Structure 1
Amino acid sequence: MSQTEQKLPILGLTTLMFTILSIVHTQLPAMAEEVAPEPNEEVAPEPNQEQEQLSAVDLYNRGVDKLEAGDYGGAVADFSDSLKLDPNDADSHYNRGYAYQNLGNQRAAVYDYTEAIKIKPDYQQAYINRGAAYLAWSKYKEAIADFDEVIKLSPKNEAALLSRGNAHHQLEDYEAALGDYEEVISHNAKNVMAYYQRGLTYNQLQQNEEALADYSEALQIQPTFAEAFHNRGITRFKLENIEEAITDLEKAAELYQQEGKTESYQSAMDAIKQIKEFSGS
């Protein structure tokens, strides 16, 4: 929630702090290569499927299938069973962490990403996802430490830079946040979230002209970005551009409605009502 000047109604900016990081599970592992029997070697008959005990790889692959189907609880069970058979498999820990993260269990996700990193110390995606879990858990300093590790390994990693900027923003270290967003933009001038997040940071610094420019740039890249319309509308209101503020908020409300975001739609409509009451229009 961000407060405007004292004489104006209090209108909230909308944020997407924790929805920018795509969590990607690993691919299926290679299956063990079949070995042909030696001559004269008796080949045992294949067991019935019901009697066959699943291997760690079988359980892992079934867990991946459940991840792809959105069955995160079932995936946790399969990866847990796979880890009983092969406790040192980094990918099983990583994917179980991914499943826990989707279930909202950040503590369990952090545990599994940590185990994956112990086994595979250069596991960049595990660092990124553990950092994302720390962000959602409001452990911002720990998140920054993880993103620092990724950036050491991959200095141009946009996800790590952007997420570290978000953590700095949450700690109200706005100059550090701006530095991270600007680094992202220097590598990729079309990164829509870098402009959006930098706009939020400029709002916090009361640099509303700069915020307006960033939201406008984000909308040039992604014309259906409802949250950017919403925040540009609030920013225009702060700059006393009443008609343009209402137009942006109406567009945000329209897009929210199309996306089925009921609470966001109501927030935009409430802002429009407050602005109209304030301006007498």
Structure 2
Amino acid sequence: MNCLGEGIMKIKKKLTIIIAIASFLLTISPLSAQTTANPVKAVEFYNRGVDRLTAGDYSGAIADFTQALQLEPKDADAYYNRGYAELVLGQYERAIADYTQALTINPNYVNALGNRCYVHYLTKKYEAAVEDCTKAIALNGNFADFFIYRGNAKDDLGRHLEAIEDYTKALSLQGTRGQDRIFYNRALAYNRAGQQEMALRDYNESLKINANFAEAYHNRGLTYYKLGNREKAIADLEAAARLALSQGKQGTAAKSQSAVALIQGQKP
């Protein structure tokens, strides 16, 4: 009896990886297209690519997904996963091309839209990022990361109040994972919108969740300074410098120390 078709369905692996913000996601779905040239070999390459992806061998994963696609060129998952490996390696244009190909095969591939949104953001194509994440949200409005990515892009486009709305929606969906980062991002949007008291509130929330968040101390210190509280500003900036040094973040530490020197050098 020929069990070839059954074997294909059984051996294509499934994997989910979520990477925090700047966060993006990887989801490998069951095989959806009919295989052609050599279905068993295509799935073997695909599965080995999954294993290599999980092990952090991104170049090896790309090679395996490429082999799988030569045998099965209609496999949207293989394009998607190769795009993920390329993204991690900083090969952004290749990643965009692979996510686009996955979407050509499956226009409703919501995770491909989400990841392409993220790569557009990394390459400063903010309008394209907003467009992709808006499409992803239309397909799945319950995934916080899509709102985070879109909020990031809108904030960098100067659409701060819209970004605040997206971060607020993300907070309602996120649960506890990564909330310190979302409060931090929303605080920064409030800063940029000139709403310093609201920014202060969100930095406070961020630091309640993560007391070692050096950047949040730095920004809260600057916010206190804008609100006229020099004493608290200096205390936060000094805390930011100490934490940043202990975490190996020399650039952040230097900025915090420079800010302290500037404030202390000014007349009250």
Q: Which TM-score band applies after superposition, normalised by the shorter structure?
A: 0.7 to 0.9
| 1:22 paired residue number | 23
Greater share of residues in helix: 2
**2:161, 2:193 within 8 Å by CA — same for their partners in 1?**
no
- Number of aligned residues: 240
Residue of 91, 94, 97 corresponding to 1:108: 94
Farther off after superposition, 211-220 or 235-244: 235-244
**1:178, 1:198 within 8 Å by CA — same for their partners in 2?**
yes
| 1:226 paired residue number | 214
In the TM superposition, what are the counterparts of 1:33-44 in structure 2 within 5 Å? none
In the TM superposition, what are the counterparts of 1:94-173 in structure 2 within 5 Å? 94-173=80-159
**Pair 67,113 (structure 1): closer, same or farther in 2 beyond 3 Å:** same
Farther off after superposition, 91-100 or 55-64: 55-64
**Pair 222,83 (structure 1): closer, same or farther in 2 beyond 3 Å:** same
Tell me how far apart the structure 1 counterparts of residues 175 and 218 of structure 2 sit (CA, whole Å).
22
Residue of 226, 233, 236 corresponding to 2:224: 236
User: Quick check: 1:272 aligned with 2:241?
Assistant: no
Tell me how far apart the structure 1 counterparts of residues 50 and 243 of structure 2 sit (CA, whole Å).
34
**Pair 185,115 (structure 1): closer, same or farther in 2 beyond 3 Å:** same
Tell me how far apart the structure 2 counterparts of residues 186 and 68 of structure 1 sit (CA, whole Å).
30
Spell out, residue by residue over 1:113-162, the C-alpha distance to the aligned partner (whole angstroms, 9 max, x if none): 11112222222211110000000111111111111111112223211112
Structure ranking higher on relative contact order (CA contacts 8 Å, 6+ apart) = 1
| 1:34 paired residue number | none
Deviation for aligned residue 1:222: 2.0
Spell out, residue by residue over 1:43-74, the C-alpha distance to the aligned partner (whole angstroms, 9 max, x if none): xxxxxxxxxxx922222222223323333222
Unpaired runs of at least 5, structure 1: 1-17, 31-53
Tell me how far apart the structure 1 counterparts of residues 104 and 235 of structure 2 sit (CA, whole Å).
52
Spell out, residue by residue over 1:70-107, the C-alpha distance to the aligned partner (whole angstroms, 9 max, x if none): 33222222211221111111111111111111121221
Find the residue that maps to 1:25 and give its secondary structure.
strand
**Pair 270,27 (structure 1): closer, same or farther in 2 beyond 3 Å:** same
AA aligned opposite 1:66: R
Tell me how far apart the structure 2 counterparts of residues 197 and 26 of structure 1 sit (CA, whole Å).
25
| 2:78 paired residue number | 92
With normalisation by structure 1, the TM-score equals 0.78
Tell me how far apart the structure 2 counterparts of residues 189 and 87 of structure 1 sit (CA, whole Å).
38
**Pair 279,92 (structure 1): closer, same or farther in 2 beyond 3 Å:** farther
Tell me how far apart the structure 1 counterparts of residues 129 and 200 of structure 2 sit (CA, whole Å).
29
Tell me how far apart the structure 1 counterparts of residues 149 and 46 of structure 2 sit (CA, whole Å).
29
Tell me how far apart the structure 1 counterparts of residues 68 and 257 of structure 2 sit (CA, whole Å).
50
Find the residue that maps to 2:27 and give its secondary structure.
coil
AA aligned opposite 1:103: L
Spell out, residue by residue over 1:240-275, the C-alpha distance to the aligned partner (whole angstroms, 9 max, x if none): 212211221222222222322222222222222222
Deviation for aligned residue 1:109: 0.8
Tell me how far apart the structure 1 counterparts of residues 168 and 30 of structure 2 sit (CA, whole Å).
38
Unpaired runs of at least 5, structure 2: 1-18, 32-39
Cα RMSD of the aligned pairs, angstroms, is 2.3
Spell out, residue by residue over 1:26-51, the C-alpha distance to the aligned partner (whole angstroms, 9 max, x if none): 34868xxxxxxxxxxxxxxxxxxxxx
**Pair 22,184 (structure 1): closer, same or farther in 2 beyond 3 Å:** closer
User: Quick check: 1:208 aligned with 2:196?
Assistant: yes
**2:151, 2:167 within 8 Å by CA — same for their partners in 1?**
yes
Tell me how far apart the structure 1 counterparts of residues 91 and 108 of structure 2 sit (CA, whole Å).
24
Tell me how far apart the structure 2 counterparts of residues 248 and 233 of structure 1 sit (CA, whole Å).
5
| 2:3 paired residue number | none
Find the residue that maps to 1:24 and give its secondary structure.
strand
Residue of 235, 245, 257 corresponding to 2:245: 257
Tell me how far apart the structure 2 counterparts of residues 80 and 74 of structure 1 sit (CA, whole Å).
10
Runs of 4 or more, structure 1, over 6 Å off, are none
Percent identical pairs in the alignment equals: 42
Tell me how far apart the structure 2 counterparts of residues 181 and 22 of structure 1 sit (CA, whole Å).
14
Tell me how far apart the structure 2 counterparts of residues 120 and 130 of structure 1 sit (CA, whole Å).
14
